[in-house]
Structure 1
Amino acid sequence: MIIAIDGPAASGKGTLARRIAAHFGLRHLDTGLTYRAVAAALLARGLPLGDEAVAVATARNLDLAHLDRDVLSAHEIGEAASRIAVLPGLRQELVRLQRAFAMEPPGAVLDGRDIGTVVCPDATVKLFCTASAQERARRRTAELQSKGVEATLETVQADLERRDARDAARTVGPLKLADDAHLLDTSEMDIETAFKAAVDIVDNVYAR
Structure 2
Amino acid sequence: MWTQDSALLLLLACCLWSAEAQGDKRQSIWDDPIKFKTKANDLCSMIITGNGEYTKLRVSCQSNKRSYWCEYVGKPHTCRSYNRNPRHYFVQMTWGLRKLQNACQAPRQIKPHMCRKATDDSQMVFASASFTRSPPEASSRTGARPQPRPAPTRATIRVRPRVKTTPRANPQPSAPPVESNAKRMAQQYCWRSLQGICSYFIGLFRN
**TM-score grouping bracket, smaller chain normalisation:** under 0.3
Considering only CA atoms, is the larger Rg found in Structure 1 or Structure 2?
A: 2
More helix by share: 1
More strand by share: 2
Query: Could you tell me the TM-score, scaled by structure 1's length?
Result: 0.25
Task: Determine which structure has greater relative contact order: mean sequence separation of CA pairs < 8 Å that are 6+ residues apart, divided by chain length.
Answer: 1
Query: Could you tell me the TM-score, scaled by structure 2's length?
Result: 0.25
